[in-house]
Amino acid sequence: MLVVASLISYGQAIVLGLLQGVSELFPVSSLGHSVILPQLLGWNIHQNDPYFITFLVATHLATALVLLGFFWRDWVRIVKGLGRSLRDRGIDPADTDAKLAWLLIVGTIPAGILGLLLEHKLRGVFASAASASAFLIVNGFMLFGAELLRRRAPQVEQDDDARIARQVGWGGAFGVGAAQALALIPGLSRSGATMGGGLLVGLSNKDAARFAFLLATPIIGAAALLKLPDLAGSQGDGIRGQALVAALCSALTAYLAVRFLMRFFETNTLIPFAVYCVLAGTACTLYFALT
């Protein structure tokens, strides 16, 4: 137990927790940063170490709970809409909450299936800092491409969720949801892929971010809950205290990040994040190649 406890210090837990809360919601790849940063700082932490995967469960759960709390009123409406559609055995064309509920379900299914099938394989193949740095560059160009190819559909609805429900079709929801599986590769961003997908189906930057965060909540939360027994079991021995500290830090920065991004995307685009990913990925790639 003492050996395991020494693998993640409380100082490292604070840094990793603060980083997780920001990078999970910013379109810059939390998994990529969790692979790159320990290498840059010379920490003996590797993304595929069982204890580290268990440690990250707490930070992911904290992020999901923050998203759930931030969009709580929306989720109440969405769940009520789902209930109405099940009661009526159909979706009323005027019931945008019910439509949004089923769009989220359609988007969640492919992400969940692909995650279960590919998570261990992709993490095992691409879990190096050099690989994550290269894919961070790819992520940047993906964000550039989404802005370049975006559709600019008229935004006629006043309510945010109603605009999303009217604009996104079933095929679009499936595609945007499946794009979340890109986040299984360190360096590619879940939120970046879903925001980019939202732009391609005609959402504004603000609505694409909103849809991405709603879609991410059940995926991140379910994945964390499935692995929570590992944290409570023997794999959590020696790191539960650090995981709790990291979760609290992650919750703080996740809350600040989602508040910032929902305001930022009212008037801004993905371009600043694309520039960051390309520059940071290039710098890290050169660093790892030369050291």
> pLDDT of 213-223, one tens digit each?
999 998 888 87
What does the domain layout of the chain look like in residue ranges?
2-290
In 160-194, which positions are buried (b, 16+ CB within 10 angstroms) versus exposed (e)? bbbbbbbbbeeebbbbbbbbbbbbbbbbbbbbbbb
Average pLDDT over residues 70-98: 94
Q: What is the phi/psi pair of residue 156, to 5°?
A: -95, -25
Give the per-residue pLDDT at 126. Answer: 57
Regarding predicted confidence, which is higher, 30 or 49? 30
For 88, counting Cβ atoms within 10 Å of its Cβ (0-12 exposed, 13-18 middle, 19+ buried), the class is exposed
Tell me if residue 171 falls in helix, strand or coil.
helix
Regarding predicted confidence, which is higher, 103 or 44? 103
pLDDT of 164 higher than 60: yes
> pLDDT of 237-274, one tens digit each?
778 889 899 999 999 999 999 999 999 999 999 999 99
Average pLDDT over residues 130-144: 95
> pLDDT of 85-124, one tens digit each?
999 999 998 999 999 999 999 999 887 787 767 666 656 6
CA-to-CA separations, 68 to 35, 75, 148, 254, 289, in angstroms, rounded: 26, 8, 31, 11, 41
**pLDDT, averaged across the chain:** 88
Tokens linked to 275: 């520039």
Angle at CA of residue 268, ends 162 and 32, nearest 5°:
95
Give the per-residue pLDDT at 120. Answer: 62
Give the per-residue pLDDT at 225. Answer: 80
C-alpha to C-alpha distance for 31 and 20, rounded to whole angstroms:
8
Quickly state the pLDDT bin for 228 (edges 50, 70, 90): confident
Q: Give just the sign of the alpha carbon dihedral 54, 25, 213, 216.
A: negative
Quickly state the pLDDT bin for 157 (edges 50, 70, 90): low
Helices H / strands E in the chain, number of each: 13, 0
